[in-house]
Amino acid sequence: MNFENEFQLKFSAQSSNEGFARMAVSMFLIQYDPLNDILTDIKTAVSEAVTNSIIHGYENSGGDVILRCGIKEGVVYIEIEDMGKGIEDIKKAMEPLYTTKPNEERSGLGFTVMESFMDSVQVESVKGKGTRVAMTKSLLG
């Protein structure tokens, strides 16, 4: 897709970088003067996707997360990708309250949060190769 503007970041899959990813998207989008509620929704969804990559994709064992963000005609396109262990059953993983880590106080709402805050969420995953979460959100309210 040809974007009006875009960026890509690659960063270490460390919990400390979740806030960095959220703020990078925020700083990129601020030039488009989005409503605060829309910006907050986007930051929350990015936070959830990055956290999923770190906690579930790599199981806190390191690796890289790739964040891509582009804008076209007032719509933001965001991708979060990891090369971690992948998701065995995407449909099940996207069910509210489903978690693979119940002993770690995980609520199983990551994908539900992403879907509630974004206009669209698509998940592609290959077991043993990684996961890509693609999300869109209109800045036009």
CATH of the domain at 55: 3.30.565.10
User: Given this model, what pLDDT does residue 104 score?
Assistant: 60
Q: What token pair was written down for 96? A: 């509210």
Select the highest-mean-pLDDT range: 25-34, 50-59, 95-104, 107-116: 25-34
- Centre a 10 Å sphere on the Cβ of residue 43 and count the other Cβ atoms it contains: 18
Structural domain including 126 reads: 5-138
Q: Which residues have a catalytic role annotated? A: 48, 52, 106
pLDDT at 98 over 80: no
Q: What is the mean pLDDT of the chain?
A: 91
Kindly report, residue by residue over 71-91, the tens digit of the pLDDT. Answer: 999 999 999 999 999 988 888
Residues 6+ apart with CB under 8 A from 38: 137, 138, 139, 141
In angstroms and rounded to an integer, the radius of gyration of the C-alpha atoms of the chain is 14
Least confident of 48-52, 94-98, 101-105: 101-105
Least confident of 3-7, 9-13, 92-96: 92-96
User: Given this model, what pLDDT does residue 106 score?
Assistant: 55
21 class by beta-carbon count within 10 Å (0-12 exposed, 13-18 middle, 19+ buried): buried
Average the pLDDT over 4-31 and give the result.
97
Binning pLDDT at 50, 70 and 90, where does residue 134 land?
very high
The structural domain count of the chain equals 1
